[in-house]
C-alpha cells in the first residue's frame, strides 16, 4: 500500500548557495476566507447557494476538544451497539432518557469506560451488572467504573440515564429546538427539533463515543408529544402511544453500523411522502428501496416536485457507486430548519430553505444521496479524510449534471466549482483545519476525481468508483450485520485502490493535490515546423512546471490539423517534459488541456527571458534575500549589489551556473563586503552573464 508523501518532490534547487544557504519557498497558508456564512443571516425563504452550502458546516475556530476524546482513552474499547431512548419535550426544550451501550474491550484489564457527554447535561445514574456504577462527569467526559475489569475482547454493557436542557455548542449545532409554521417559517409555533452533530457535536445531546472511527449498531426510540412524530435512522420497528398520556413513541433500528455523528432525530408535525423505488440493480438482484420524505405540511406540494427525481438519482448512484448501501432500509429526508443539509444515514436532514417546488435543489439532493455511499457507508476513520466524504458527494453533482445535460454540462459544473483563490486560503484538501474550511474539500476534492477520470479514462475510472463505493478498497465486499463493524476508510486506501486501476504509482499526483495549497504553474511552449509529411506537420512542445513541488500530471494536447482534431497526451512528472510529434497533415492549432481535465494555471511572474525573475522577500528585514533567475544555457554569473548612491556594496562570482529546469535560485545574507549589515533603504541587485546585466530593485526595512 502506497502511503502518499507529506510533500512531493522538491526541485528548482539553486545552483549556488551563498552565505545563509538555500531557503525553499513553499509551505501552505491556511486561514478562513471572509466569505458569506449562514451566521450572517438566516434567510429562511432565500435560496441556498452552493457556496453557502459548502460553508454551512464551517465552524471556526474549532472549539477546544471538539474533535473528541483522543486523550481520554475511548480507543480502549470497541462500541458494538447503542440503544437510545429519548423523550423530547419541545416546549420545555428538555430531554430525558437513557442509552444502553454494548461494547468489547480492546485491552486487558479495562476498568473504566469513557464516553463523551457535554457537562451541561445531567447524568442521573449509570447502571450495569445489576447495580449502580460509580462515575465522574466533567469537562465533557463521562468516566464509568465497570463492576469488574474486562479482558481483551470481553464484552460488557452499561446504561446511562441522563436529562437536561441541551445547549447548542455553537450556532445551529447539536440539538436544535426551533419552530416553524405556514406563515413565514420563522415566527411560528409548531416545534421542529433536530440535530446537527458533525463533526463532533453528538455529545451535546447524547452520551457517545463522539468520533467517526468506531461505528456501531443503533436503535433510537423517540417519545414526543402527540401531534408530532419522531424520525430517525433505519427502519421503524414500532410506533404508538407512549405510557404517558399525550405522548407517542417511535422506535427506529439501524441494522448497518453507523457513526455517532450520523445518528439523527427529527421531531415535527411531518407529512410523509412515500414511494417505492425499483432501480435497475434492484430489479436484477431482487430488492426495492422505500423512499420516505417527511416535510412540513405546507411544503407537501413543493416537496412532491423537488423529490420527484430521487428514484432516478438512486438508480444513477447505484450505477456509479454500486448498490444502495442500506438495502432493506429506507432512504429519504426529514425537513429541518438549517441553512444546508446533513447526510444522516438513511434519512438526510434537509433545510427548509431548500424546498421550493421547482426542482432547483436537485444538486443538493443528489449530493446528500451520494453521501450515503461516501461518508455513511464508507466512513472516514478520522476527520483528516473528510474529502472522501465531501469531494465524492460533490462529484455526484457533476455526474448528475452530466446525466441531465451531457459532457458540456459536466465540464461546466466542474469549472463553476473552481475557485483557486479561496482554495489557497482554505488550506489543503487533506487534513484541513478546521475540518470544514469551505469549498476546498468539496470542489477541489471533486476535481481530484475529475482529474483521475481524465487520466484513467472512463472505463477504469468508473470501475474504480464502483469498487470503492461497494467495498472501500477491501478485497471483497463485507455483508451482514451482527458483529459487522462497518467500513472505515482512509485516503491511503483510496490511493492504493486507484493505483491498481491506474497501473502506476500515483504519489506524485495525490500528494501535491491533497497537501499543497497552490496549483501547478505551467509554461507551455510549442513550435510547428516541417516534418516527414511536409511543411507544418511537425510539432515540438514542452511543458515546464515552475512551482516548488512537482505535480505528476498527464496533459491532453489537442491538435487541429487540416484533416481534423487529434488529442495526444504528455506526462509532466518532474520539472520538464518535451515531445516531438509528426502529423500526416499540416497543423493549424495546438491547445493545452482546452477542456480543463487538469488543475493547473499558466506560470505567473516567471519569465522565459534570461535574468532575475523575482527577489523576495521584498521588502526584506535585512537578513535574507532570495534571487530567482532563469538561464537558457550554462554561463558564468556574477552577483553585484548597489546602494541608492550607486556604490557597489557587495559582489560575488557565482562561477559557472548550470540552468536548473524551471529556474535557479540563490540566497544572500544581506551583508556588505565588510560583513556589516545594511541600513534601511533601496538597493539594486544585478546578475551579470555573457555580457548581459539583469537588474532588480529591492528594499530593506528594519
Ligand atoms: Zn456534503
| pLDDT digits 0-9 by tens, 147-191 | 999 999 999 999 999 999 999 998 899 999 999 875 555 567 899
Distance 261 CA to ligand 1 centre (A): 13
Of 53-62, 138-147, 237-246, 288-297, the range with the lowest mean pLDDT is: 53-62
Å from CA of 55 to ligand 1 middle: 10
For residue 393, the CA-to-ligand 1 centroid distance in Å is 6
* Distance, CA of 558 to CA of 568 (rounded, Å): 6
Residue 278 CA to ligand 1 centre (angstroms): 25
pLDDT of residue 235: 98
Percent of the chain with pLDDT over 70: 88
Candidates 22, 186, 28; CA nearest to 519 is 28
Tell how far the Cα of 340 is from the centroid of ligand 1, in angstroms. Answer: 9
* Rounded Cα–Cα distance for residues 601 and 599 (Å): 7
Ligand 1 centroid to residue 520 C-alpha, Å: 27
Give residue 372 CA to ligand 1 midpoint distance, Å. 10
pLDDT at site 30:
31
**CA 324 / ligand 1 centre spacing (Å):** 17
Q: Would you say 238 and 220 are in contact if contact means Cβ atoms under 8 Å apart?
A: no
Say if CB 698 and CB 685 are below 8 A apart.
yes
- Residue 665: closest CA among 133, 112, 17: 17
Could you tell me the distance, in angstroms and rounded to a whole number, from the CA of residue 367 to the centre of ligand 1? 6
Distance 336 CA to ligand 1 centre (A): 16
Q: How far is the CA of 625 from the centre of ligand 1 (A)?
A: 44
Count of alpha carbons within 13 Å of 509, Cβ hemisphere only?
26
Residue 26: how many CB atoms within 10 A of its CB?
13
Determine which of 29-43, 234-248, 672-686 has the lowest per-residue pLDDT on average.
Answer: 29-43
* pLDDT reading at 194 higher than 60: yes
**Res. 480 pLDDT band, cuts 50 70 90:** very low
| DSSP characters over 506-568 | -HHHHHHHHH-SSPPEEEEEEEEEEETTEEEEEEEEEEEE-SSB---EEEEEEEEETTEEEEE
Q: Which helix (H) or strand (E) holds 499?
A: helix 491-502
Strand ranges of the sheet holding 131-132, from the earlier edge strand across to the other edge: 131-132, 122-128, 155-164, 94-105, 77-89, 216-225, 247-258, 235-241
Q: How far is the CA of 391 from the centre of ligand 1 (A)?
A: 8
pLDDT band at 603 (very low <50, low <70, confident <90, very high): confident
CA of 366 to the centre of ligand 1 (A): 10
Q: How confident is the model at residue 72 (pLDDT cuts 50, 70, 90)?
A: low
Phi, psi of 76 (to 5 degrees): -85, -5
* CA 57 to centroid of ligand 1, rounded, Å: 9
Distance 54 CA to ligand 1 centre (A): 8
- Note the pLDDT tens digit of each residue in 292-338: 999 999 999 999 999 999 999 999 999 999 999 999 999 999 999 99
Q: Residue 47 — very low, low, confident or very high, per pLDDT cuts 50/70/90?
A: confident
* pLDDT attached to residue 67: 55
Q: How many A from CA of 447 to the centre of ligand 1?
A: 15
Sign of CA dihedral 626, 423, 64, 4: negative
pLDDT of residue 482: 40
Q: In this structure, are residues 15 and 325 in contact, taking their beta carbons and an 8 Å threshold?
A: no
Per-residue pLDDT at 608: 59
> What's the pLDDT at 633?
81
123, β-bridge pairs: 162
Q: What is the model's pLDDT at position 400?
A: 98
Calpha distance 260→198 (Å, rounded): 9
Q: Which of 605, 599, 594, 606 is nearest to 572 (CA)?
A: 599
Selection from 309, 312, 251 nearest residue 278 by Cα: 312
Distance 170 CA to ligand 1 centre (A): 20
**Distance (Å) from CA 289 to ligand 1 centroid:** 22
Q: Could you tell me the pLDDT band of residue 4, with boundaries at 50, 70 and 90?
A: very low
How many angstroms separate the alpha carbon of residue 339 from the centre of ligand 1?
Answer: 13
Element (H, E) at 678: none
Length of the chain: 702
Per-residue pLDDT at 624: 87
The sign of the dihedral angle between the CA atoms of 115, 118, 119, 124 is negative
Is pLDDT at 16 greater than 60 in this prediction? no
Name residues whose C-beta falls within 8 Å of residue 449's C-beta, 6 or more positions apart in sequence.
Answer: 391, 392, 395, 465
CA of 101 to the centre of ligand 1 (A): 29
- Cα angle vertex 598, ends 597, 602, to 5°? 125
Rounded to a whole number of angstroms, the distance between the first and last alpha carbons of the chain is 50
* Centre of ligand 1 from the C-alpha of residue 362, in Å: 14
State how far the alpha carbon of 341 is from the alpha carbons of 355, 546, 693, in Å: 11, 41, 60
pLDDT above 90 covers a percentage of the chain that reads: 74
Under 8 Å between Cβ of 159 and 99 = yes
Report how far apart, in Å, the C-alpha atoms of 474 and of each of 44, 468, 479, 601, 681 are: 43, 8, 12, 36, 63
Return the biggest CA–CA distance within the chain: 98
- For residue 610, the model assigns a pLDDT of 78
CA of 378 to the centre of ligand 1 (A): 13
Question: How far does the centroid of ligand 1 lie from the alpha carbon of residue 359, in Å?
Answer: 19
Q: Which helix (H) or strand (E) holds 452?
A: helix 445-456
389 CA to centre of ligand 1 in angstroms = 7
569 pLDDT higher than 90: yes
How far, in Å, is the centroid of ligand 1 from the Cα of 423? Answer: 17
Q: Ligand 1 centroid to 390 CA: how many Å?
A: 5
C-alpha span between 612 and 641 (Å, rounded): 13
Q: What is the mean pLDDT of residues 559-580?
A: 95
Question: How many whole angstroms from 188 Cα to the centroid of ligand 1?
Answer: 29
pLDDT class for 43, splitting at 50, 70, 90? very low
* 479 CA → ligand 1 middle, Å: 25
Q: Is 629 exposed, middle or buried (0-12, 13-18, 19+ CB in 10 A)?
A: buried
pLDDT at 171: 87
Q: What is the band of 535 on the pLDDT scale with cuts at 50, 70, 90?
A: very high
- Distance from residue 364's CA to the centre of ligand 1 (Å): 8
At residue 556, the pLDDT reads 98
Give the tens place of pLDDT for each residue, 325-376.
Answer: 999 999 999 999 998 999 999 999 999 989 999 999 999 999 999 999 999 9
Distance 325 CA to ligand 1 centre (A): 17
Query: How far is ligand 1, taken at its centre, from the CA of residue 185, in Å?
Result: 24
**Is 576:661 a contact under the CB 8 Å cutoff?**
yes
Distance 458 CA to ligand 1 centre (A): 24
Q: How many Å lie between the centroid of ligand 1 and the Cα of residue 624?
A: 45
How does strand 135-138 pair with strand 94-105? unpaired
Residue 667 has pLDDT above 70, yes or no: yes
Residues 78-113 pLDDT 10s: 999 999 999 999 999 999 999 999 999 999 999 999
Q: What is the mean pLDDT of residues 400-424?
A: 96
Give me the pLDDT at residue 8, please: 32
13 Cα–ligand 1 center, Å = 40
Torsional sign, CA 206, 212, 217, 223? positive
Residue 392 Cα to ligand 1 middle (Å): 9
Q: Could you read off the pLDDT of 427-461 as tens digits, one per residue?
A: 999 999 999 999 999 999 999 999 999 999 999 99
6 vs 287: which has the higher pLDDT: 287
pLDDT at 548: 86
Whether 39 has a pLDDT exceeding 50, the answer reads no
- d(CA 684, ligand 1 centre) in Å: 52
pLDDT of amino acid 552: 98
pLDDT digits (tens, 9 = 90+) for 577-591: 999 999 999 999 999
pLDDT > 50? residue 42: no
From the list 628, 635, 629, 621, the residue with the least C-alpha distance to 677 is 621
Average pLDDT, the chain: 88
Is the model more confident about 488 or about 344? Answer: 344
Which are the contacts of 283, defined by CB distance < 8 A and separation ≥ 6? none
Ligand 1 center–CA 166 separation, angstroms: 25
Is the preceding omega at residue 199 within 30 degrees of 0, hence cis? yes
Amino acid at each position: 500500500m502506497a502511503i502518499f508523501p507529506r510533500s512531493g518532490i522538491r526541485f528548482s534547487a539553486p545552483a549556488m548557495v551563498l552565505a545563509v544557504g538555500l531557503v525553499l519557498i513553499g509551505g501552505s497558508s491556511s486561514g478562513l476566507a471572509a466569505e458569506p456564512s449562514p451566521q450572517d443571516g438566516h434567510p429562511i425563504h432565500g435560496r441556498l447557494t452552493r457556496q453557502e452550502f459548502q460553508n454551512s458546516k464551517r465552524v471556526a475556530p474549532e472549539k477546544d476538544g471538539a474533535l473528541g476524546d483522543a486523550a481520554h482513552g475511548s480507543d480502549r474499547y470497541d462500541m458494538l451497539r447503542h440503544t437510545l431512548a429519548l423523550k423530547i419535550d419541545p416546549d420545555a426544550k428538555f430531554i430525558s432518557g437513557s442509552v444502553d451501550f454494548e461494547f468489547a474491550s480492546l485491552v486487558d484489564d479495562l476498568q473504566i469506560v469513557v464516553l463523551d457527554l457535554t457537562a451541561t447535561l445531567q447524568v442521573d445514574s449509570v447502571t450495569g451488572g445489576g447495580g449502580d456504577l460509580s462515575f465522574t462527569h466533567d469537562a465533557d467526559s463521562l468516566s464509568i467504573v465497570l463492576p469488574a475489569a474486562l479482558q481483551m475482547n470481553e464484552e460488557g454493557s452499561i446504561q446511562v440515564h441522563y436529562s437536561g436542557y441541551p445547549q447548542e455548542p455553537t450556532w445551529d449545532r447539536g440539538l436544535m429546538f426551533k419552530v416553524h409554521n405556514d406563515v413565514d417559517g420563522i415566527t411560528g409555533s409548531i416545534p421542529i427539533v433536530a440535530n446537527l452533530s458533525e463533526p463532533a457535536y453528538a455529545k451535546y445531546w447524547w452520551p457517545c463515543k463522539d468520533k467517526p472511527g468506531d461505528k456501531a449498531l443503533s436503535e433510537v426510540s423517540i417519545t414526543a408529544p402527540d401531534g408530532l412524530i419522531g424520525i430517525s435512522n433505519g427502519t421503524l420497528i414500532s410506533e404508538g402511544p407512549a405510557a404517558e398520556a399525550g405522548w407517542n413513541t417511535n422506535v427506529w433500528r439501524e441494522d448497518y453500523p453507523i457513526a455517532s455523528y450520523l445518528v439523527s432525530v427529527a421531531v415535527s408535525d411531518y407529512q410523509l411522502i412515500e414511494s417505492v423505488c425499483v432501480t435497475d440493480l434492484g430489479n436484477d438482484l431482487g430488492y426495492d428501496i422505500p423512499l420516505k420524505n417527511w416535510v412540513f405540511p405546507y411544503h407537501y406540494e413543493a416537496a412532491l416536485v423537488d423529490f420527484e427525481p430521487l428514484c432516478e438519482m438512486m438508480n444513477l448512484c447505484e450505477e456509479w457507486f454500486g448498490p444502495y448501501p442500506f438495502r432493506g432500509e429506507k432512504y429519504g429526508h426529514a425537513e429541518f430548519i438549517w441553512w444546508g443539509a446533513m447526510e444522516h444515514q438513511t434519512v438526510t436532514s434537509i433545510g427548509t430553505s431548500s424546498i421550493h417546488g421547482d426542482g432547483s435543489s436537485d444538486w443538493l439532493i443528489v449530493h446528500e444521496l451520494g453521501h450515503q455511499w461516501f461518508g455513511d457507508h464508507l466512513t472516514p476513520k478520522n476527520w483528516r479524510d473528510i474529502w472522501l466524504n465531501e469531494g465524492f458527494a460533490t462529484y455526484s453533482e457533476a455526474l448528475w449534471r452530466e446525466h441531465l445535460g451531457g459532457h458540456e454540462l459536466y465540464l461546466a459544473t466542474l469549472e463553476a466549482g473552481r475557485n483557486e483563490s479561496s482554495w489557497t486560503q482554505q488550506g489543503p484538501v487533506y487534513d484541513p483545519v478546521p475540518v470544514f474550511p469551505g469549498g476546498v474539500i468539496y470542489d477541489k476534492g471533486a476535481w481530484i476525481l475529475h482529474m483521475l477520470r481524465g487520466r484513467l479514462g472512463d472505463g477504469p475510472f468508473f470501475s474504480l468508483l464502483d469498487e470503492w463505493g461497494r467495498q472501500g478498497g477491501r478485497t471483497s465486499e463485507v455483508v451482514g450485520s451482527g458483529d459487522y463493524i462497518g467500513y472505515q476508510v482512509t485516503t491511503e486506501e483510496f490511493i492504493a485502490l486507484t493505483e491498481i486501476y491506474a497501473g502506476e504509482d500515483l504519489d506524485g499526483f495525490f500528494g501535491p493535490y491533497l497537501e499543497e495549497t497552490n496549483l501547478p504553474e505551467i509554461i507551455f511552449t510549442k513550435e510547428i515546423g516541417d516534418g516527414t509529411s511536409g511543411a507544418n506537420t511537425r510539432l515540438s512542445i514542452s511543458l515546464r512546471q515552475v512551482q516548488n513541488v512537482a505535480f505528476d500530471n498527464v496533459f491532453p494536447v489537442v491538435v487541429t490539423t487540416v484533416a481534423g482534431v487529434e488529442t495526444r497526451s504528455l506526462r509532466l512528472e518532474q520539472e520538464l517534459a518535451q515531445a516531438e510529434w509528426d502529423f500526416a497533415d499540416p497543423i493549424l492549432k495546438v491547445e493545452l488541456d482546452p477542456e480543463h481535465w487538469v488543475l493547473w494555471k499558466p506560470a505567473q511572474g516567471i519569465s522565459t527571458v534570461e535574468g532575475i525573475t523575482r527577489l523576495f522577500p521584498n521588502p526584506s528585514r535585512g537578513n535574507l534575500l532570495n534571487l530567482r533567475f532563469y538561464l537558457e544555457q550554462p554561463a558564468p554569473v556574477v552577483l553585484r549589489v548597489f546602494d541608492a548612491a550607486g556604490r557597489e556594496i557587495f559582489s560575488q562570482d557565482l562561477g559557472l551556473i548550470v540552468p536548473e529546469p524551471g529556474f535557479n535560485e540563490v540566497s544572500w545574507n544581506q551583508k556588505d563586503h565588510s560583513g556589516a549589515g545594511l541600513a534601511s533603504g533601496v538597493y539594486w541587485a544585478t546578475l551579470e552573464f555573457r555580457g548581459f546585466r539583469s537588474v532588480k530593485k529591492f528594499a530593506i526595512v528594519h
